Amino acid sequence: MKLAFLGLGKMGRSILKGALDRGFLRPEEVGVVGRTPERGQALAAPFGVRALSLQDLAEAERVLLAVQPRDFPQLAPEIPRAGVGFISIMAGVSTAVLARRLDTRRVVRAMPNLAAVIGESSTALTALREAQEAGDLDFARALFATVGDVYEIPEHLFDPFTAMSASAPAYLALVAEALADAGVKMGMPRALALRLAADALAATGELLKGRHPAQVKDEVASPGGTTIHGLHALEARALRAAFYEAVEAATRRGHELGEAE
């Protein structure tokens, strides 16, 4: 068994689907542990992979930890770890905490985001030296490449990465909702307003791949036009400061989660 999933929520399912769809893993090489045997069967069946018990994890080459961070301290002592490498997607749980609780230094820390559902995630990776030497980091890099782009970054940047990138779909969804609501206020039918907001965010994302944000802004904002007046209103409401505070607050919460371990 090349990879076992401990937990299989939305993110875990996205990663498993990407790995299977792109041929990185075959169903017979994968297992899933659920909260109960029945839950494990229900999670495994749609993918044609094995349902496992905690004890079965000893058969795996690597285990992907996809449980809630609050559940990890209780589960960790029950997880077999001899000869097993670990990849964690638990927010706020450092490699030092993983190594201590699992009693192994073969640990990789990863932070994907919701866009893994559509194969467009940005995933941060970091690993202890022993995990790099055992090939665990290479495996994780290839695994997460099946659901998007991968960035190897120093661990001290993980909380800011989580606050900015992993949390970004929620921030931008709020922007889209607010933009649509504003359109409705001006008389736009809601369904059309929501579609236009979604299209605008998607198109802007594509434009930003080849341009600096200021260039996109300047190309749209013509002298004395509608856009520059709208930008003035946003600046008056301190939109930039609101994003600064959001990323700072989320980063601080990431630190707090790590300290709790």
**Is 217 labeled as ligand-binding?**
no
| CA end-to-end span of the chain | 30
**Is 209 labeled as ligand-binding?**
no
Pairing status of strand 30-33 against strand 3-6: parallel
CA atoms of 105 and 155, how far apart (whole Å): 15
**Is 68 labeled as ligand-binding?**
yes
- Give phi and psi for 155, each to the nearest 5: -65, -30
**Is 18 labeled as ligand-binding?**
no
Amino acid identity at 31? G
**Is 55 labeled as ligand-binding?**
no
**Is 179 labeled as ligand-binding?**
no
The DSSP output letter for 164 is I
Asked if residue 13 lies in contact with residue 20, where contact means CB atoms within 8 angstroms, the answer is no
**Is 67 labeled as ligand-binding?**
yes
**Is 66 labeled as ligand-binding?**
yes
**Is 7 labeled as ligand-binding?**
yes
Cβ neighbours for 136, distance < 8 A, ≥ 6 positions apart? 62, 85, 86, 87, 106, 107, 108, 127
**Is 2 labeled as ligand-binding?**
no
Annotated binding site for NADP(+): 6-11, 66-69
Annotated binding site: 6-11, 66-69
